[in-house]
Amino acid sequence: MHVFVSEHPYAIYSDVFSEERERQCQRNLEALYGLLKQYDQKHGRLPPAAFFPAKPLSDPASLAVILGKEAQRHLVCPTSGLDFQQLGLNYIWNEKLNGKKLSDAADSWLLMDFVATHDWMTANHFCGHRGNVNVLLANGLVQRSLPYAYESRSARDKTVRTWLDWANE
């Protein structure tokens, strides 16, 4: 007897097609923006956090440690599978903003779904939000974004670039 599974197990556990879970992820990022704004007001700068710490629940450079208990309930994307949820942090931080004032961050991104670093996971609907990821911008807005590689619009430059290229600019 053969059993066929129509989707990869990550999708079964992560419910990547749920619009409600996508909205919950957006609400998480909005709540984290409020905490980052409070941090900025108190310290005069954004925190010195790691892009994604090796031990998110104990690393001093982790947003889970820096922002404390209040943040911990917002640091996990609800579409992440149980194995990812146990990490305690499912968003990546823009290290280029470490020590900068929030008001000086302009149009930069602050946080985004950590599966954005794994284009194949979102492209195959193993994680993310219906093939997209959520991105928190420095102005407090959350937007859906395609994490896929894209071709440069320049006629002279035909290189393929990934979201990481964009994030590092």
Q: Print burial letters for 61-90: b (CB count within 10 Å at least 16), e (below 16).
A: bbbbbbbeeebbebbbbbbbbeebbebbbb
Annotated domain spans of the chain = 9-168
Q: How confident is the model at residue 121 (pLDDT cuts 50, 70, 90)?
A: low
Q: Work out the mean pLDDT of the chain and round it to a whole number.
A: 78
- What pLDDT, on the 0 to 100 scale, is given for residue 124? 56
Given a cut of 80, is residue 82 above it in pLDDT? Answer: no
Lowest-pLDDT range, 7-11, 32-36, 95-99, 113-117? 7-11
Provide the residue type at 20 as one letter: E
Average pLDDT of the residues in 40-66: 95
Say what the pLDDT of residue 104 is.
93
Average pLDDT over residues 62-70: 96
Query: Cα separations (Å) of 153 from 146, 157, 158, 159, 168?
Result: 16, 8, 8, 9, 18
pLDDT at 8 over 50: no
The whole-number average pLDDT for the span 133-143 is 90
Token readout for 27 is: 């609400």
Give backbone dihedrals phi and psi of 112, rounded to 5 degrees, phi first.
-155, 160
pLDDT at 1 over 80: no
